[in-house]
Each structure stands twice: as C-alpha cells, then as structure tokens.
Amino acid sequence: MNLIAAAILAPLSMMVLILLLRRFPAALALLGAAVGMFASLYLLADAFNGQGNQLILPGLPDMPLRLISTPLTALLSTLVAGVSSLVLVYAVGYMKKDSEKVRFFATMLLFVSAMQTLVLAGDWILLLAAWELIGLSSYLLIGFWYRRPGVTSAATRAFLVTRSADLGLYIAVFILIASAGSSDIATTLNTGGNAAIAAGFFLLVAAMGKSAQTPLHDWLQRAMAGPTPVSALLHSATLVAAGAILLIRVAPMLPPEVLLVIGLVGGVTTVVTGLIALGERDLKRLTAASTSSQYGLMLVAVGAGVPLAALLHLIAHATIKSGLFLGAGIFQHSRNSTVLVNLQGAGRDRPRVFFGYALAALALAGIPPMSGYFSKEAIIAASLASPNVLLLAPLALAGTLLTGAYMARALRILWHGDRKSHKIVGLYWMGAGLAGLVTLAVILGVAFPAIETLLNTRLPENTPTRFPPEIFGLGAAVGGLILGWFFTARRLLGPLLPWVQQGFTIAGGFDNLMVRPAFAIARSCERLERILYAGVFAVGRFGLDIGRAVRRNDEQGIDGLIFSLVRNTVELGSRARSLQSGLIHREMAITVVGTALILAALLLALLVY
Amino acid sequence: MLPIVSITLFLPLLGALLVMTLRKAPVQVVHTIGIVTSGLTLMGVVRMWSRGVNETGFAQLEQLDWMPSIGAAYRVGVDGISLPLVLLTALLFFVTFIYSAKVRKQSHAFVALMLLLETASIGVFTALDAILFYVFFEVSLVAMYFMIAEWGHEDRQRAALMFFIYTFLGSLPLLLAILGLYLGSDPHTFDMRDWISNPPLNGTAAMLALVAMLITFAVKTPVFPFHTWLPAAHVQAPAAGSVILAGVMLKFGTYGLVRFAFQMTPDAFRDAGIVILVFGVVAALYGAFAALAQSDLKRLVAYTSVNHMGYIIIGVAIAALATDPAIRATALDGSVLQMVSHGLVTGALFLLVGMLQDRANTREMDQFGGLLNVIPILGWSFVLAAFASLGLPGLAHFPAEFQIFLATLQVEPVAVIAILGIVITAGLYLRAIGKVFLGEPREKWTNMADLNVREVLALSPLLILIVAVGVVPAWVLDVIHKTTAALQF
C-alpha cells in the first residue's frame, strides 16, 4: 500500500473499526496512531534520501486529487502523527472515567486523518476539503460534552468563525486555479501579478480564521469547552496550525505587499493576545490566548520573508503547547477546575508534573537550550533583517516579552498556594504522554539543522545590527519571565486590565458585527415572505373576479376546443371542491378555472393568427 | 435489444394499474407492490446507467409514431444531463415507498398515485418530444396536488390548491413557448432533439419564448419571488410528498431550464444571462436568510432548497455567459451534480424531519433539545445530512458547489458573493442541531424511540450515496461531463 495513503487511512480505518465494534476504542485508536506514525516516519526517511512520493486520485473533471510527499509535507506529517500519538496516549488516562470513549476516540482519529490529508495534499481541492473537515472534527470535539451548558455555543462559534474566514480560502483557490489553469499546488505557486496579490490576501483571511489571529482570535479561547486532549491537539499540530502551514506552503508565491500585511497581522496578534493571556483568570484560556500569540510570531516570520523560521517555531510550539495543555489537564483533574484561583499550589502537589510543565513553559518563553529558544531567535533575527524592521521587530520582541511574562505568571500561581489536590485516575497514561511531549519540546532544537538540510534552505546568517540578535531575544524572554514571576497581572496591566479581560472586544465583536446583522436580514426576509404570501392571495382574489366575469359573459361564445382544453381543469376544480368544505377553497378553484380560461383564450388567439 | 427506457418508464404505471385492480388486497400487499415495483424500476435505471450515454446527442433512443401529421411522436432517451436525474428519481421513489409502508389512510390510492407520479417524473426527464414532456409535466402536477390535499397535515387543502394554481398557471407559458418553437421549426415538429441541434427561433420571437419558459421554470424551481408556494406546500405535505416534491419535482424546473431555455433558445439565453444570474444570486442569498429566520424545522429545510436551487440557476447562467467551453462545462457539471446532490440531501432531511414529526407531533425547534442522546441514530443521521446541506467537503454538495463557484469567479467575479450562502446555511444548520439535538434532553422526550428497521432501510441508501457522491464524485461527473463537454452552444 502506498505510504501516503497509509498515513491517512490508518487512523481513518481504525475510526471505522471503532464505530463498528463499539469496543476497545482506546487500544484501536493507539494502534491507528502508531501505524500512521510509522507511515509518516517512512515518508520522512524517504524524504531524507531524496525520494518523493505521489498518489493521484480521481477528482473533478480535469482536476484530479493529489497527495504528495515532499520534504516539507513529510516533515509536517511526522509532526502531526507524533504529537497526536502522544496526545492519544495521554487521552487514555484523561478519558478513563468518561462513558463515551467510542465517540471520543473515533472523532479524534477523524481529526488526525483529516489533518494528515491537509498536510499531504498536493492539490487545492483536497487541501480545501481537508481544511473544512478539520473544522468539522473540531466542532464535534469542542462540542463533545454537548449536554453541558455553553458547550454547544462554543462549538458553533468555533465552526462559524473559522468557516466565515474559510470563504477566503475558497476564493483564493478559485483565483489560483483560474489563473494557473490547474489545481496542482506546485503549479499555482508560479502565479504572479494581481492574481497573486488577491489570492495572497484571501489566503491570509483564511489563515487568520484558523490560526485565531486578531480580530478573529475570540473563538479559540471559548473552544476550551472541549476535553483537554482536544485542546492539546487543536492548538499544536492540527486546527490552529493549519493557518500557519497554509502560509508557509504558499510563501514562495506571496508578493511583498501581502507579506507586509501578514507580518503586521501577526505582530499585532502576538501583542494583543499576549496581553490577553497575561490578564487571563483561567489556565486553559491563558494557554489558548498564548497559542494565538505564538502563531502571531510565526506570521511575523512569514511576513519577514523567512518561512523556515515560522516552520521551526511551528514544530517547537506544537510539542511545547501540547505539553502545556497536558500538564494543565492533570492540574485540572487534581482540582476539578481550570480557574487559576483554584489552581494555586496545584504544581507543588505534583512536583514531577510541575517540572515538566515548567520545562515546557521555559521552552515557550525561549530559554536556551530548549527548542523554543532556537525558533524564537530565528524569528527575531528574521524580523530584524526584514525591510520592515521598524514595524516588525518591536512587535516580535514585545510578543517574546509577553510570552515570558504570562508563562512566569502561570508558574508562580501554580507553585504558590495551599496543597489540596486529590488523587486522580489514569495518571500514568497522562504522565507518559506529557513526558514524551516535554522531552521533544526540550531536545527538538538539536534537530533543527537536520531540518534545514532536509528542506535545503538555511536561515539567513547576516545580521544588520551591531549586536547579535540573540541578545534582543534572550533579553526580552528573561525580562518577561522576571516581570511575570514578581509582579501580578494587575500591577503589570494597570488600567488596561478590564479591557484585556474582555478579550479586547471591539464593537461587540463577532456577535455585533456578524450574527446580529445576519439575523436582522433574516427577519426582514421573513417579513417580505409574509407580504409576498398575502400578495399571492390578493392576486388570487382578483383572478376570481375576472374568472366570474369570464364565465358569465363568454362561456357561450367559446368553441369546443377550449372546453376540451379546460375540461381537466374544471374536473380537477370540482374534485378539489369536493375534498373540503371551506369557502376560500371553492373560490380559489373558480379562480383556476377562470384564469385558465383567459390564458386558453390567449393561446387560441396565438394559434389562429 | 430490450426497450429498457420505456419499460422503466411504464413499470410504475403498470404497478399503479395492478394496485387499482386489486381493490380488496390487504394493506401490506399494496405496499409491497409499491416497493417491488419501484425497486424493479430502480433496477431498470441501473441497467440504463450501465448502458451509458453518448459523446454527443442522446443515447438509448426509443420511438414510436404517435401523431405524425403534427410531428409529435413518442420519443424517449437520455443524455448525461438527464440520466443522473432519472437515477435520482428512481432512488427517491424507492426509499419513499419503504418509508411510507406505514401509511394506512387509503393506502391503495396512495400507492397508485405515487406510482403514477413516478412514471410522470421519469417521463419528464426521458421525454424527447415536447408534447410528451408537457403531458408528463402536467400529470405530475395533478398527482402531487392530490398527494398534498389528501395525505397532508392540518391546513392541507389550502396549501395544495396554492401549489396547484401556482404551478399550473406557471406551466401555461411553457405551452405557449412550445407552440412557438413548433411553429418556428421547419418542417414543423415537436422533436426536442431537432430544437436543440437547430434552434428554431431567433430574435424577438426567441426572447419571448425564453421569457415564457423562464416564468414556468422559475415557478417550478422555485426562484425568488415566485417561491411562496414552496414553504406552504412543504409544511402541509406528508413527508413522502415533501421528499418527492423537493427531491424530484423541483428538478423539473432546473432540468427544463437547461433542456429547454438553455439549449433551445441559446442566443436569447446568452443575452438574458446577466438577468438570470442576478435572479440566481438573489435566490441563493434570500433563501439562505429566509431559512435562518425559521423556527419550524421543515420550513427551514424548504427554504434551504431555495438557496441550493439558486446555485443551480447561477451555474446555468454562468454556463451561458462563458465563452470558454471548458468553463461552460465546469459550470454545467456543477449545476447538474447539484441537482443530484440536492435530491439526495434534501430527500434525507425531509425524511428525517418526517420521522421526527411522527414521534413528536411537532416540528418547532424550540420544543426539542438534547435529542442526540435519546435517539442517536436519527440524531447523527440528521447531523450528517445537515453538514452535507451546508456544503461540507466529502459530502454531496461540495463538489457541485465548488464547480459552480469556480466557474462563476472566472466569468462574473461579482456573483461569487452568493458564496456567503454557505456560511449562512452553516449558521442555521448548526443552530438547528444545537436546539434540537444538543444540550440536556427534555423530560417529555426521554422515552422517544429511535429509528426502526424500516426507517433505517429508507434512509441508509440516501446517506450512503451522499458520502459516495461527496468522496468520489467522478462516478456521476463522468456521465454528466460526457455530455456537457461536447455541448454545442
């Protein structure tokens, strides 16, 4: 079997098996993830040997579906498989007490195979399909506990906001196919001129939706209503990552105008959502805001023209962020809450978990020698070397400072406080998943040179500044950590705090700008409906009068041909009349006859003359 | 060679006659006759499918002299545009018969009428003679009138009559257009193939004929503002009637739009293309917004039909405006596939709403809540069908809408605004799913029974095909594309 197909079909077939058997969901899910992992690793090994792989499937006429394994797609496929496997290991413990494991693991596998399709897609139609299917999977997973209040609206919001932005992808894909005459992604990347500019901006819109960039960042925090393993997967290597992956893949095509906007969107997001994370009162929501912030940094890298830096941060962030969520999930189970006030001291109760969590937090802040340090340095260096250095570099550095600050704040709260955690089930499975991810988060930096070799690109060496960029980045990271550890959010944010805690909602956000107008239009359509409906009945009454007149005056003068034409109608009218007793009904039957007579007369006239 | 098309076409009529002669037969026998007859019809269509269509013109032609003096004859056959619709028709009737096996009220008349309606519906798609087409077109109307008036809900008579008046008056202009085309053809004939290969009218006459046809098909499709009969009819129609009405009979409008308006008055259609396109865009958006305002689940599904049919109008208009044959083929592929997809998806949705109403005696969304837990099979089937309806990839509507919008962007980029419809339908379906199926189950519904075997059997062919068309659209598109790629326009 083709290895690309295996990476997608292994989780998918296990999903089907779980749904059919309705037993052993966890074991089958792990099996599916493991087989998929091997397939991805094989693809990656082949890529290192310079071997590609391709699979062409029937699609639309003249537009076949393609799956391709290139160094980039094989790498991303391995990342998806690796992170999802470890998250599934963790989920075995986390979901131990849940009664609906079949549905949970089946949907998780659907999610994984849809994401594998997305990263391995070689044509736009398949990519678009996978793009929407991960939206569906996350809707199902965020809404997993659909009986709880507020869950449904969170899932609905996540799907609707991302789908609104997905229209950008639809239109970009149409533009690219139209101008290149092919749906093959590699071919369309040669697009230039206005088509590239337009497509670039629409792609950015799509990426902003999925990667929760300002002003579309709100849904991601609400998505915390789902189980924690879902968040871990959603934020690291799947749903949210799709936006950045899309921009990384199309980066060679993007013209400078688009790059500048991408960089600015990313820069603004990293600061705005960084501030939100700093003011957050809930650990999972803090982590969610941090996700937007980190993806903002990746967009800065793409905007600065160094997509490789974005890719490295994507990889580092995937392992770090899933680790952070897995840690948060253990603390959540220990205290039955994710509110920071209730989590005070939860870390001290479980020092080993806290140690893992702290390593991941430091990695995210960008402390050497962990993976986040290398990727973040690459981003800051890229922003400093960019032609738009004055715009991008301050934003990137501010984002880095904020990362340190909110992570240190979380660590401080988790460490200080009373010890009151209770025993939890499934800790070994959860611990194993966490340990695996934190290990990756710590050591992956070592693999970065190999990745550069694999992709045959290097990070730019030259630095235009007098100081090495490491000083800026490390300074910001350490400064942030110190601020966050020693000062409370209230002290740091001051008067900004209330606004920050509302999530920087501008003009009422999605509800006021999208939902309310949509319903207002819908209501006016409904009013128009009633008017139209009443109008039709008025016309009916008018026809009735004419019909009576026609019957009175003209019946005698019309020859048999017309009667043969209308006989059926008359019959039908009388049968209709016999069916019921209402007056309106009979009158309307006469209307038919009358109007039919008029039209028949017209028809006859046409035939004769 | 066996005249498969004619056998398939008249099998249901034979079944209807059989039912009428067996007046004393028990109810189960009558329903069995209905299911078996429609099953055999479906097999006949599958045989037609395996015979396939030609690169150009019509395949599987069968003809008999009828009225040679006026050039009317019995002529039937299929091409890539009609064959998928014939398959859809036979399938929807088959599942509707399975679903309706519970009907006890005048079941003889019910089965006979449904079988008559099946012959009429297949006849509309296979007829190649305009008189024959018109006869089938009108017979289907009468059959559906009685279906609603006799087996519908509370206010059924009023709705049935409104449906009848609307579509009956609506179909008269088509008769005028047919006569016009007849008079314009030389020698005079009602052979639709001649009218297609050699359009008989031009100039003002063609435009007048086009306008007449557009009125008929706009009422039938229906297109805003001629759609008011649709929600009224659907709300009162029995579930079986709704499935056939939305799944099959709305396609008469769009099929006629392609077969008659597009193919027989091509130049006039091209001139009017922009106007038709505007009607399509307005219908698509208006249908979506009107659906968003509904609280009755069946009305909601009915209005999304207006939205989906709007996309088909857009596709056909774009095909007319396109100058590149490849883009024209893409637009038409999408439009025809959308007809099939809409039949499958909306058929499934109306069945599901009907099943829900059988259990709860209400369709008000606010009355429900948390049903996913109580009736998981029905619930998840609804979720699947709803996501198909909102255009999720991997399900039936996506490939069709993708092709329509892809062609639209290349011909008339502004019209892509209609794509907003897919977000609005997403919103209204998620809202409906949330209200009806998610949340905490209500006390009064906790004993609701899930789908029984009969209902699962009726539903599963549709759900399987929704996925099959979505994942591998090629098996339908290959048939459609064969015709659209070679289309003379």
Paired tokens of B476: 């339908």
Residues A463 and A577 in one domain: no
Percentage of chain A with pLDDT > 90? Answer: 42
Give pLDDT, residue A609.
45
Give pLDDT, residue A509.
63
Contact call for residues B53 and B80 (beta carbons, < 8 A): yes
Residues A569 and A431 in one domain: no
Q: Write A126-131 long-range contacts (CB < 8 A, 24+).
A: A126/A59, A126/A65, A126/A66, A126/A67, A127/A173, A127/A185, A127/A246, A128/A169, A128/A170, A128/A173, A128/B393, A128/B402, A129/B393, A129/B394, A129/B398, A130/B393, A131/A166, A131/A169, A131/A206, A131/A210, A131/A242, A131/A246
The torsion defined by the Cα of B202, B204, B209 and B214, in degrees rounded to 10, comes to 110
Give pLDDT, residue A503.
67
Closest partner residue to B157 (CB to CB) among A155, A175, A585 is: A585
Ranges of residues in chain B with a pLDDT under 50 are none
Angle at which helix B474-485 crosses helix B325-360, to 10 degrees, equals 140
Residues of chain B numbered 178-217 and touching chain A (CB < 8 Å): 179
Residues A267 and A304 in one domain: yes
Contact A129 B393 (CB under 8 A): yes
Give pLDDT, residue A593.
62
Closest partner residue to A60 (CB to CB) among B289, B410, B473 is: B473
Closest partner residue to A152 (CB to CB) among B225, B231, B434 is: B434
Contact B169 A599 (CB under 8 A): yes
Residues A370 and A500 in one domain: yes
On whether any CB of chain B is under 8 Å from the CB of A226, the answer is no
Q: Has residue A341 been placed in a domain?
A: yes
* Chain B nearest-CA residue for A151: B439
Instruction: Please say if the pLDDT value at position A501 is more than 80.
Output: no
Paired tokens of B413: 């980029």
The 3-state secondary structure of A431-443 reads HHHHHHHHHHHHH
- Give the type of residue at B440: E
Contact A582 B157 (CB under 8 A): yes
Interface test with B, best of A156, A205, A513, A585 (most B CBs within 10 A): A156
Per residue in A545-579, pLDDT (tens digit) is 776 776 666 555 444 444 545 555 556 555 555 54
* Chain B nearest-CA residue for A160: B427
Residues A307 and A261 in one domain: yes
Residues of chain B numbered 465-484 and touching chain A (CB < 8 Å): 472-474, 477-478, 481
Contact A163 B422 (CB under 8 A): yes
Closest partner residue to A522 (CB to CB) among B145, B289, B403 is: B289
Give pLDDT, residue A521.
84
Residues A373 and A316 in one domain: yes
Rounded to the nearest angstrom, the minimum Cα separation between B165 and chain A is 6
Instruction: Please say if the pLDDT value at position A407 is more than 90.
Output: yes
DSSP B442: P
* Domain limit, last residue, from A506, A538, A569: A506
Q: Has residue A579 been placed in a domain?
A: yes
- ipTM over cut 0.90: yes
Residues A308 and A369 in one domain: yes
Cis peptide before A229 (omega within 30 of 0): no
DSSP string computed for B457-483:
HHHHHHHHHHHHHHH-THHHHHHHHHH
On whether any CB of chain B is under 8 Å from the CB of A161, the answer is no
Q: Has residue A376 been placed in a domain?
A: yes
Rounded to the nearest angstrom, the minimum Cα separation between A116 and chain B is 15
Q: Has residue A142 been placed in a domain?
A: no
Report which of A100, A190, A81 is spatially closest to residue A144, judged by C-alpha positions. A100
On whether any CB of chain A is under 8 Å from the CB of B134, the answer is no
- Contacts of A525 by beta carbon, 8 Å cutoff, 6+ apart: B286, B289, B290, B292, B293
Give contacts of B426 with chain A, Cβ < 8 Å.
159-160, 163
C-alpha distances in Å from residue A10, one per residue of A114, A117, B230 = 12, 12, 46
Give pLDDT, residue A606.
53
Q: Which residues pair with A65 in a beta bridge?
A: A57
Q: Count CB atoms within 10 A of the CB of residue B334.
A: 32
On whether any CB of chain B is under 8 Å from the CB of A547, the answer is no
Contact call for residues A75 and A120 (beta carbons, < 8 A): no
Higher-confidence position of A420 and B111: B111
Rounded to the nearest angstrom, the minimum Cα separation between B158 and chain A is 6
- B369 Rama sector, left if φ>0, alpha if ψ -120 to 50, beta otherwise: left
On whether any CB of chain B is under 8 Å from the CB of A598, the answer is no
Closest partner residue to A580 (CB to CB) among B157, B329, B403 is: B157
Residues of chain A numbered 11-30 and touching chain B (CB < 8 Å): none
Q: Count CB atoms within 10 A of the CB of residue A253.
A: 19
Contact B439 A149 (CB under 8 A): yes
Paired tokens of A246: 């899309």
C-alpha distances in Å from residue B29, one per residue of A165, B22, B36, B117 = 54, 9, 10, 20
The continuous run of DSSP H or E covering A251 comes out as none
Q: Is A373 helix (H, G, I), strand (E, B) or coil?
A: helix
Contact A591 B473 (CB under 8 A): no
Residues A312 and A407 in one domain: yes
- A505 Rama sector, left if φ>0, alpha if ψ -120 to 50, beta otherwise: beta
Per residue in A438-481, pLDDT (tens digit) is 998 888 888 888 888 888 888 877 655 666 777 888 888 888 88
On whether any CB of chain B is under 8 Å from the CB of A529, the answer is yes
Q: Has residue A214 been placed in a domain?
A: no
Q: Is A59 helix (H, G, I), strand (E, B) or coil?
A: strand
Give pLDDT, residue A390.
86
Instruction: Please say if the pLDDT value at position A506 is more than 80.
Output: no
Q: Has residue A274 been placed in a domain?
A: yes
Closest partner residue to B225 (CB to CB) among A143, A163, A532 is: A532
- Angstrom distance (rounded) from CA A484 to CA A412: 8
Residues A340 and A420 in one domain: yes
Instruction: Please say if the pLDDT value at position A580 is more than 50.
Output: no
Residues A428 and A570 in one domain: no
Residues A479 and A561 in one domain: no
Domain count for chain A: 2
Lowest mean pLDDT among A2-6, A159-163, B166-170: B166-170
Contact call for residues A592 and A539 (beta carbons, < 8 A): no
pLDDT, average across residues A4-28: 92
- Angstrom distance (rounded) from CA A602 to CA A544: 18
pLDDT, average across residues A524-531: 84
Per residue in A377-391, pLDDT (tens digit) is 899 888 888 888 888
Residues A460 and A536 in one domain: no
* Domain limit, last residue, from A506, A540, A568: A506
Q: Has residue A342 been placed in a domain?
A: yes
Contact A60 B333 (CB under 8 A): yes
Rounded to the nearest angstrom, the minimum Cα separation between A430 and chain B is 29
Paired tokens of A70: 């290139």
C-alpha distances in Å from residue A252, one per residue of A170, A189, A247, A366 = 20, 7, 9, 27
- Angstrom distance (rounded) from CA B344 to CA B91: 9
- Angstrom distance (rounded) from CA B126 to CA B120: 10
**Has this prediction a pTM greater than 0.95?**
no
- Angstrom distance (rounded) from CA B275 to CA B89: 30
Closest partner residue to B333 (CB to CB) among A61, A160, A526 is: A61
pLDDT, average across residues A26-39: 93
Residues of chain A numbered 121-150 and touching chain B (CB < 8 Å): 125, 128-130, 132-133, 136, 139, 143, 146-147, 149
- Angstrom distance (rounded) from CA B244 to CA B237: 10
Q: Has residue A590 been placed in a domain?
A: yes
- Give all strands (DSSP E) within A262-339, no chain letters: none
Closest partner residue to B370 (CB to CB) among A147, A174, A533 is: A147
Lowest mean pLDDT among A131-135, A427-431, A515-519: A515-519
On whether any CB of chain A is under 8 Å from the CB of B457, the answer is no
DSSP string computed for A9-20:
HHHHHHHHHHHH
- Angstrom distance (rounded) from CA A120 to CA A198: 25
Per residue in A589-599, pLDDT (tens digit) is 555 665 566 66
Residues of chain A numbered 463-502 and touching chain B (CB < 8 Å): none
Residues of chain B numbered 342-381 and touching chain A (CB < 8 Å): 370, 372-373
- Angstrom distance (rounded) from CA B48 to CA B8: 9
On whether any CB of chain A is under 8 Å from the CB of B382, the answer is no
Q: In which residue are the tokens 């501030």 written?
A: A275
- Angstrom distance (rounded) from CA B243 to CA A87: 44
Closest partner residue to B474 (CB to CB) among A58, A591, A595 is: A58
Q: Which domain holds residue A591?
A: 527-608
